A and B are shown apart, each in its own frame.
Chain A
């Protein structure tokens, strides 16, 4: 598979070279692909109990060569956009995490492969299906010097749930009925429904702990200069210019390594790269279209790894004839996904075999991407009563990927007698018009989530938030849909990762075979670093953890 050639790490320290060797040996296992080093080999996933791997204020990912890491210096970063906010509740952009993860400590952390890692909580225990106890690290303080207490954890969750906060992440913690503060260092989460993704959720915005006193005192200004307990504090945020972070000295004696992080907002990707090449930036993201150039650029480090994002056509299964599984299957198998990967995505990424990518533990390595078979498509359409062909409209977001992609799909579908009309819209209108049942199909992508339930339930359950069929008055879930619903609900009832994996493997197989979605590709992330950067660790979620980095003297 040519896409795999993309995952490589150029130039690089002995350590990364060793890691590269491990990749080969590990036979491209998911953990190796996303560049885990040895210390992540511990059992992953929310087992009955979890423990910290180190004493005191250990960072989420400890580094075996920590003593060899140089301390000090200012890391210069060029990112494409400002954060939408620095308040974990009201910020809403996928790029905000690049900032938030260095400023906030999470209750637990999502590891590079989405396994659960200690955060402010060093230990946790699933007491029963609806009760989870967390033990907080002793001695942790917020940037204003106040201690991190159980009450702050309760405050954080309550604040998300309060409609007055207008939190974009409120939906994720609706199943948290109450956070019981046992004492300063122990809290118990009482759930009103089994929530297997709870650890992944707490590794994201909802678990970024905010101090009750300082947050209430700051009011709406909290969004600009939040007080938190992470390794870096916010010095300033000049909108459209930069965010400046400095080391939180009380975080730990020997961590973080950097003195400061200066994140410049540079909208144009070519200019970002120019900043790297001219020594004005140490970290920049590399777009698929610029990857080939980046690979041949000397004097930089390039890391490429698989992301959780996939590209797809959303299918409204409430709309006739898409209610008929055979029609959906015909649409799915009349596409040439390899041509799409090569022609539209510059061969960057991998053919999608399901909604879970190699970035997560729920990737189904035995599932093959749907293969092109025009004859079969014609037979399926004939069986469904469309031997003379079929016509429908598909709404797209007219951006540089999807405009040509839709043209290619139109041509590919035409071979099976399917006449598709392209309806181009802006991102917001496209989504809204699809939801409002104006069009039966929407060419889109999904950024992916830390836990398979968050992706699969929301997109493929008959009541999932992104399943727009549910907004159709005529919607009656088919027998196949109900069967899948039952499996998705069952997988949700389990905390054991290995058991869940088996169930998600089956669910994904059904989703693809019965064409509840037409997926094309799994995307890859790429970052270019200056040669002085050390300690870069790619995470499956594609978000940077700048606080883990150091600079060579």
Chain B
């Protein structure tokens, strides 16, 4: 098992290098001067002398390949550079923000698991009844609705009209768990709604497939209660494709935080990334993309490990 994990981790290294080269080239091909971005549209306020000094300090005078190799050399040593905008070390900025995004992502994932799997099961068990249609409609709506708009609607309903939850902001779970939960409900639901939709649909279809299998008929024939049949025999086997979806959607979830953190004013990695892209803050963009790549690979790794939990045959292979 350990060897399996190590092998998977080692295979991610080339992927990460390619990702970093692609990000670096893309950001530079797209053009733009981080110093101009720093100054904004009414640029020209920095005296020429100060501007030259700043360019030198930021290493913007080096040729691009040199800039990239410098970055890579430092990155290997755990130094992702410093933000052009704020002067904060990128590693520190990412580590500050990561716990926030993890809390948001975990809550969204939690919503997906708690809501989507039962939804999918109900739909499968009551196939072609109104319950199935209702569950499918909810799932489809979740996938189809733009999360940006949905977030604003949730704020309007729960914060402005009902005044049950705060409209935006973030409280760290260690500081005040209750306030943290209240602040997390709306953004996590908004972030998770797409995931809820796809997991519910996946659960439904793979449950239907499993429920048609011989061993389910055998289990029922043995006289097992429907509850046992569903939970112990059907669900466990139906979970494999669901796990795949959950693992693959991990990257989507991370992508979603860029928008959701902006709407709900959450100081996470997504907000950091978006701000850095607009400001052409290369070191931060590089670091954030690298982090996203790591997270995506981690999501896949998690899915691989979960397979072995649900299906012991995979462990042997």
Contacts and interface: CB of A to CB of B under 8 A. Distances in A.
A426 B32 contact: yes
Interface stretch (A16-24, A109-117, A262-270): A262-270
A265 B262 CA distance: 10
B264 interface: yes
Contacts of A446: 42
A465 B42 CA distance: 10
A274 B267 contact: no
A170 interface: yes
B45 A171 contact: yes
Interface in B253-283: 262-265, 267, 271-272, 275, 280
Contact of B44 (A164, A277, A429, A465): A465
Interface string A62-93: 00000000000000001000001100000011
A502 interface: no
Given A268-B262, A271-B152, A432-B33, A240 B160 contact: no
Most buried by A among B36, B41, B88: B41
Given A166-B50, A268-B262, A428-B37, A240 B272 contact: yes
B53 A447 contact: no
A277 B45 contact: no
A220 interface: yes
B242 to A, nearest CB: 33
Nearest to A279: B163
A266 B264 CA distance: 7
B43 A431 contact: yes
B155 interface: yes
Contacts of A266: 168-169, 265
B78 to A, nearest CB: 22
A169 B45 CA distance: 7
B41 A163 contact: no
A444 B87 CA distance: 30
A282 to B, nearest CB: 14
Nearest to A430: B41
A271 B167 contact: yes
A266 B155 CA distance: 13
Most buried by B among A170, A265, A268, A429: A268
A240 B263 CA distance: 12
A167 interface: yes
Contacts of B152: 268, 270-271
Nearest to A444: B41
B265 A428 contact: no
Contacts of A275: 167-168
B59 to A, nearest CB: 15
A258 to B, nearest CB: 20
Interface in B75-132: 85-88
Question: Dominant SS at the B interface?
Answer: loop
B168 A271 contact: yes
Contacts of B271: 240, 267
A93 B43 CA distance: 11
Contact of B262 (A164, A167, A223, A267): A267
B30 to A, nearest CB: 9
B311 to A, nearest CB: 42
A265 B265 contact: yes
A430 B37 CA distance: 11
A366 to B, nearest CB: 29
A397 B168 CA distance: 30
A239 B267 contact: yes
A271 B45 contact: no
A167 B45 CA distance: 9
Contacts of A444: 41
A240 B275 contact: yes
Contacts of B32: 426, 428-429
A43 to B, nearest CB: 32
Contacts, number: 124
B182 to A, nearest CB: 12
Question: Dominant SS at the A interface?
Answer: mixed
Contact of B267 (A163, A165, A220, A240): A240
A427 B53 contact: no
Nearest to A81: B275
A552 to B, nearest CB: 20
Contacts of B267: 238-241, 265
Given A92-B45, A170-B47, A428-B43, A274 B36 contact: no
A92 B45 CA distance: 9
A168 interface: yes
Contact of A274 (B45, B168, B280): B168
A427 B41 contact: yes
B145 interface: no
A141 interface: no
B265 A271 contact: yes
B24 interface: no
B38 A431 contact: no
B45 A168 contact: yes
Contact of A92 (B33, B38, B280): B38
Nearest to B49: A163
B31 interface: yes
A278 interface: yes
Contacts of B168: 78, 264, 266, 268, 271, 274-275, 280
Contact of A278 (B43, B44, B167): B167
Given A271-B167, A428-B36, A163 B53 contact: yes
Nearest to B163: A278
A466 B41 contact: no
Contacts of A447: 42
A428 B40 contact: yes
Nearest to B87: A220
B5 interface: no
A277 to B, nearest CB: 5
Given A265-B265, A266-B168, A275-B167, A466 B160 contact: no
A271 B36 contact: no
Contact of B46 (A166, A240, A241, A426): A166
Most buried by A among B31, B33, B47, B88: B47
Interface string A156-187: 00000001111111110010000000000000
A225 B163 CA distance: 34
B163 A163 contact: no
A275 B42 CA distance: 31
Contact of B40 (A264, A268, A427): A427
Interface in A422-456: 426-432, 435, 444, 446-447
Interface in B1-57: 31-33, 36-47, 49-50, 53-54
Given A267-B262, A268-B263, A428-B41, A166 B53 contact: yes
Contacts of A163: 47, 49-50, 53
B149 to A, nearest CB: 10
A223 B262 CA distance: 24
Contacts of A466: 42, 44
A89 to B, nearest CB: 10
Given A166-B50, A274-B160, A431-B41, 10 more contacts: A85-B86, A164-B53, A167-B50, A168-B45, A241-B265, A267-B265, A279-B163, A428-B32, A432-B43, A465-B45
7 contacts: A170-B46, A240-B265, A428-B43, A428-B280, A429-B36, A431-B36, A435-B43
The 3 nearest A-B residue pairs measured at CB: A240-B267, A428-B36, A266-B265
